[in-house]
Structure 1
Amino acid sequence: MFRYEFPVDAMLQRYKYQHLLNMAQTFAQMIITDLPNANLPDLIIPMPLHPLRLKERGFNQSLEIARIVGKSLNIKVDTQACSRIKSSPPQASLPLKERVKNMQGAFTFNTQLDGLNIALIDDVMTTGASLNSLAKTVKKAGAINVECWVVARTLPR
């Protein structure tokens, strides 16, 4: 929806690192408003956090947004379909070239998703390495179509 630049970057950082969970409602509403009038997915999967990262942060920022989007659009949000099995440094802390390598083998699927259309939700997309890796995992689980819904992304200037 937005470029990852001021003021959106500052808003997302405060949401994520200062636990301003009430901002999830705003971000979710922005996603809902920005969706084209097309077919909605069968299922929403928020970007999973590794259990250690979840314990450290205290919440999954993508899940908080996904819950609101799912409830508003009457689409099931599945937090168990995929898991992050690789604990690694945050993507934001890595050089661009290392982000793809960091995501290799990061996710696994726990549920077959045969024939389903899936929307992945994340707060920020920079290189797309995390979402691409998760999308490949979801496809291996049988999904026929995968969309990525993000609040903001970096774009080349």
Structure 2
Amino acid sequence: MDALSHPLQRLQAWLLPWRCLLCGAAGADGLDLCRACAAELPRNHHCCARCALPLPGSVASCGACQRKPPPWQAAWAPFRYGWPLDRLEARYKFGRELAAGRTLAELWQRLPPPLARPALILPVPLHRARLRQRGYNQALELARPVGRALGIPVRHDVLLRARATAAQTELDAAMRRRNVRGAFALRDPVALPAHVAVLDDVMTTGATLAECARVLRRAGVARVDVWALARAPSPRGR
């Protein structure tokens, strides 16, 4: 469907024309991105089927997953975390620029989803202190439009970040694992479907998503997938 096919969308385009968040030119295709900047967003076309790590086109899975498979079944990360997507993501996550988040969510929901659809999407939760500080959960705000587009329910009241953790940004892989160990729990006993996806904005080493997946597997979920908007291309170990 064309981005301007709905009358309300045409009215919005007339009253509030889209403007590229990266270069300031006129937006295109119903996005606050021009076509040139949208074309520069790094797609994750060739990646490990298990963890979405970007790989050469002829390689099906990364060495880390072959040696020690992660606690989830499959990963979907349609973009690589690199220029200029990383700029939009930083402005959304740390700069409180919700327009960047809406643009990222719109980009994500336009892409073909995995063939195996989960019955439920669970965004990675923030600790209540971090939520008060930031004002919104960036994973939840991405999950809602993606879930609507795919017809999959999104629940933000299932997973709980039981304790505050240090920001993962400056930690190496081993420190990230220790930082989130035991940090997540289920809010209350709840009947969960057999297939669930845990969603985050960016996947770097996978430590946060892995800890969430372990909680769900221990609760009896047969299959956990992990979804992230973008995958970092060179994590420092798993």
Match of 1:92 in 2: 169
Q: What's the Cα RMSD here?
A: 1.7
Shift of 1:119: 1.2
Structure 1 CA distance, aligned partners of 2:99 and 2:234? 30
Q: Residue deviations 1:66-120, cap 9 Å, x none?
A: 1111122221111111100121111113233200000100100134344421111
Please identify, of 59-68 and 114-123, the stretch whose mean Cα deviation from structure 2 is larger: 114-123
User: Secondary structure in 2 aligned to 1:93?
Assistant: coil
The offset of 1:36, in angstroms, is: 3.8
Matched, 1:22 2:99: yes
Matched, 1:44 2:112: no
What secondary structure is seen at the aligned counterpart in 1 of 2:202? strand
Instruction: Specify which structure has the bigger relative contact order, considering alpha-carbon pairs within 8 angstroms and separated by 6 or more residues.
Output: 1
Higher strand share: 1
Give the counterpart letter for 2:82 in structure 1.
E
2:151 is the alignment partner of 1:74: yes
C-alpha spacing 1:138/1:113, structure 2 compared with 1 (3 Å): farther
Kept in 1: contact 2:173–2:207 (CA 8 A): no
Q: 1:72 to 1:107 in 2, by over 3 A?
A: same
Q: One-letter code of the match for 1:148?
A: V
Percentage of identical aligned residues: 38
Number of aligned residues: 157
Q: Cα gap change, 1:89/1:66 in structure 2, threshold over 3 Å: closer, same or farther?
A: same
Q: For the structure 1 residues 18 and 114, does the alpha-carbon distance in structure 2 shift closer, same or farther, using more than 3 Å as the test?
A: closer
Gap regions ≥5 residues in structure 1: none
Q: Which has the larger radius of gyration?
A: 2
More helix, by proportion: 1
The letter for the 1-side match of 2:203 is M
Q: Which runs of 5+ in 2 are unaligned?
A: 1-77
